[in-house]
Structure 1
Amino acid sequence: MSLAVAGEEHEESGGRLKAIIFGGLDGILTSFAIIAGAHGANLGPVPMLALGISNVLADALSMGAGEFLSSRSYNSYVLKEREREMWELKNHPEGEIAEMVQLFVARGMSRVDAEVVIERMAKYEEFFVDIMMKEELSLPVPSEEDTLESLKDGIAMFLAFALFGMLPLACYILAGMLAPSLDVTSLFSVACVATAISLFALGAFKARFHDKRYLYAGVETVLLGGACAAVSYFVGRAVSQFAGFEQLEFVIQYEQQPTVL
């Protein structure tokens, strides 16, 4: 008799959604915060672009490497915990079995049934240790493929940060090339519009894997980005005004000093 296995449909394209969303948002906000802060501080386009491009690339590499290294460190920690659990099972099996029985009883299973189930599973040490890791410690055991997945997550984080982070800068440069007559304020406005569109698209993309509320997610992401950019702009403006005041005061005092021949 053949048994039909029901096929299950899953959304596999959202597997690296966290890295893409987090990296993309951080990239856009980082580059646009630099543009907003530089504009508020009255810096020219060249220093603004130099700071923006260098910071986006450096931060993208840092974020990608951090994602990979943190995942690898976590997997190493889990595997060390598994080795400890395996040692305890080999040297003190009664205690480990009793802990699992108590855990299953606490979750609603009768003690008799729990003892039967745990005793049967304990015959298969590798399988039983993996069950203990998940049920007792809430630490699913990583496989060899998880290391490759960690590397893919790091690459996805790097690419998302770099690509999305370059969008405001690219629009700023492109607007200046296509319309050389535009002043700095107009170029900043173009960057604002491009950033808002990018943030909305990223928020809507996130909603595809969540609650399908595309408009709400897009507007929410734009408001978050706008708040971050506003803080950067006003801080840059305040620092520029303070620095300009101090410099002006120094020049006045210097000019008032008598010249000694």
Structure 2
Amino acid sequence: MLPNTIMGHSETKVHTPRARSIREVVFGVNDGLVSITGIIVGVTASHLSSHQIIIAGLAAVAAAAVSMGLGQYLSTVAQNEYFLAERQREYREVAELPHEERAEVEGIYRAQGFSSDEIKILTARVTADPDRWVDFMMKEELGILLDSLDNPWTTAVVMGLAVIAGAAPPILPYLLIPSAHTAEIWAICLAVLTAFGLGVLKARVAKSSWWKSGIQFLLVTAAAVVVGMAGGHLLGQWFG
């Protein structure tokens, strides 16, 4: 978040919740992919049976989906409460400090390149209605659009489903292939391909370099595989 100082009054610029939609999906899929890949590979390296690996993997998926979903619910509720609190604060300032708030409106229009005459007309129109005035300050000063507040339960479900979707590639081979070690190879391959594809998708949305983004996601998944294998081997040795 970047500070936005206007007429000596420092505020924090907040992006709208709607702009976070793609971030939530990418974060959820990536979390499910990385965490479950690490767990599955680690459990396989500890020489458990395919049946035990599947149970451990599905349990981890369920726990991760519920945990991330509830975490997203709580964070969305907290953010919505913050946005509404900021709106109430703006209403108080408009009622108690109208001259300062009007000067801030003028400062915003001045920074946008309007002439003095245009600023007077626009400021008069904005400040004529308290609701319009507050909405203007929320959008232009704080970067908050209350029309785009997220539903906490919707974001929770989206996050949970994203985690499950990310966990599917490393889990699926164990459900289809009897040999745990053969399934592990396929799980790693699918996880790597999914990670790279997710990075490319993120880059297309963000209009950044697709191959750099793909490699970044791939390296994170590769790190989970390495840590999982090392941890699994150690646990296998310690517990026989």
Scaled to the shorter chain, the TM-score interval is 0.7 to 0.9
Closer, same or farther in 2 for the Cα pair 1:240/1:140, shift >3 Å? same
Q: Which of 134, 157, 167 is 1:129 aligned to?
A: 134
- 1:97–1:122 Cα contact (<8 Å) kept: yes
Per-residue CA distance 1:13-62 (angstroms, 9 max, x = gap): x9832222111111111111111221333333333222211111121122
Give the whole-Å Cα distance in 1 for the aligned partners of 2:186 and 2:110: 63
Aligned pairs, number:
222
SS in 1 for 2:144: coil
Give the AA of the match of 2:123: I
- 2:73–2:156 Cα contact (<8 Å) kept: yes
Structure 1 residue 140 corresponds to structure 2 residue 136:
no
Q: Which of 57, 65, 84 is 2:62 aligned to?
A: 57
SS in 2 for 1:164: helix
Structure 1 residue 156 corresponds to structure 2 residue 158:
yes
Residue number in structure 2 paired with 1:223 = 219
Residue number in structure 2 paired with 1:30 = 35
Residue number in structure 2 paired with 1:211 = 207
Give the whole-Å Cα distance in 2 for the aligned partners of 1:59 and 1:203: 21
Q: Calculate the aligned-residue CA RMSD, in Å.
A: 2.8
Closer, same or farther in 2 for the Cα pair 1:206/1:92, shift >3 Å? closer
Shift of 1:106: 5.3
Residue number in structure 2 paired with 1:200 = 196
TM-score for both structures, normalised by structure 2? 0.78
Shift of 1:113: 4.7
Q: Which of 86, 89, 92 is 2:91 aligned to?
A: 86
Give the AA of the match of 1:229: V
- 1:122–1:128 Cα contact (<8 Å) kept: yes
- 2:30–2:166 Cα contact (<8 Å) kept: yes
Give the whole-Å Cα distance in 1 for the aligned partners of 2:190 and 2:62: 19
Percentage of pairs with the same residue: 27
**Consecutive unaligned residues in structure 2, runs of 5 or more:** 1-18
TM-score for both structures, normalised by structure 1? 0.73
Give the whole-Å Cα distance in 2 for the aligned partners of 1:129 and 1:114: 17
Give the AA of the match of 1:25: N
- 1:67–1:153 Cα contact (<8 Å) kept: yes
Q: Report which of the two structures shows the higher radius of gyration computed on alpha carbons.
A: 1
SS in 1 for 2:149: helix
Shift of 1:132: 1.1
Closer, same or farther in 2 for the Cα pair 1:81/1:16, shift >3 Å? closer
